[in-house]
Amino acid sequence: MTGISRVTYTSLAASSLRGIQGNLERYSQSQARLSSGTTISKPSDNPTGTVNSMTFRADIAKNKQYSANGDDGGAWLARTDSALQDVDDQLNTVKNLALQGRSTGNSDATARNALAAQVDQLRNGLIDSANATYLGRPVFGGTTTGTIAFDPTTGAYVGDTGSVNRTVGKGDSVRVDTPGETTFGSGPDQLFKVIDDISTHLKSDPTSLDADLARLDKVINGVRQAQSDVGARTNRVEALQTTAKARIDASSKAQGEIEGVDIPAETINLSMQQVSYQAALSTASKVLQLSLNNFLR
């Protein structure tokens, strides 16, 4: 014989309210996922996904920093390349003037003085280029705290031998400054020493210009070698930046797959939860009216 379990009005009401509350909670969760665009609002929603997401977030932040470092390093190198191009152009002009002075020889002091005056003007331009700065720091001055790499009056190097580096990838540090003494020479073959001698010899001793031209060629070769080196470092920075950006894209995609909401599917789910909630409300409103008190009225 099958017994009939006793169902009280109180238990019926409690069951209805639990159902309503459950539907409301699921409806609210679906609404929260759609409004926030993420499936994880707290770690308990998806513990494993939360850990993976945090790993991807850290990877994205790290590679964004590499990319930003690359932007800064690339700007350093671009400024240096521009300055070196200016120096190269001006040195070629100085060389042409020296060649003209040697051809003019001893017979035309006035012409040679005019050439020397042009060399002196170019020296001023060379000082400006050799003291080129990026964000207030001389690109040929190493890690000097000063604002210039070469003394404008004497042409002496006043920077230091320190290096400025930027980390553009994991374990990849690229030097972004260019050593002034290596680039522009030192001792008797230093750029401004050679320029000053050319100016002096144009005025008073044109027979020494051959030796000056040989020294000037050394300076020009040093500048061009520096240009080549800057170009190589620029390519390396760009390649590492490309790698960093690719990793950002990959990690962002993976993070999106973990956290992202499938909008069409979630929209359908929201509609279903809404219908379920409304059905629970409707059902409860009918069931909870069936009390003895209501019947006796």
**Model confidence over 239-289: pLDDT tens digits?**
999 999 999 999 999 998 898 888 888 899 999 999 998 988 888 888 777
CATH number for the domain harbouring residue 250: 1.20.1330.10
Domain count, the chain: 2
Residue 174, strand partner residues: 166
Residue 169, strand partner residues: 172
DSSP summary character for residue 38: B
Residues 1-13 have a mean pLDDT of 71
Map residue 173 onto helix, strand or coil: strand
Q: What is the pLDDT of residue 76?
A: 96
Is the pLDDT at 1 greater than 60? The verdict is no
| pTM over cut 0.95 | no
Do the domain assignments include residue 53?
no
Is the pLDDT at 184 greater than 90? The verdict is yes
Are both 25 and 124 inside the same structural domain? no
Q: What is the pLDDT of residue 105?
A: 55
Is the pLDDT at 28 greater than 70? The verdict is yes
Is the pLDDT at 103 greater than 90? The verdict is no
Contact 9, 291 (CB under 8 A): yes
Nearest to 218, CA basis, from 196, 175, 240, 186: 186
Do the domain assignments include residue 183?
yes
**Model confidence over 152-175: pLDDT tens digits?**
999 999 999 999 999 999 999 999
Contact 147, 158 (CB under 8 A): no
Are both 79 and 183 inside the same structural domain? yes
Pairing of β 172-175 and β 137-138? unpaired
Do the domain assignments include residue 223?
yes
Do the domain assignments include residue 19?
yes
A 10 A CB-CB count for 218 gives 13
Do the domain assignments include residue 117?
yes
Cα(272)–Cα(27) distance, rounded to whole angstroms? 9
Are both 244 and 168 inside the same structural domain? yes
Residue 129, domain extent: 62-255
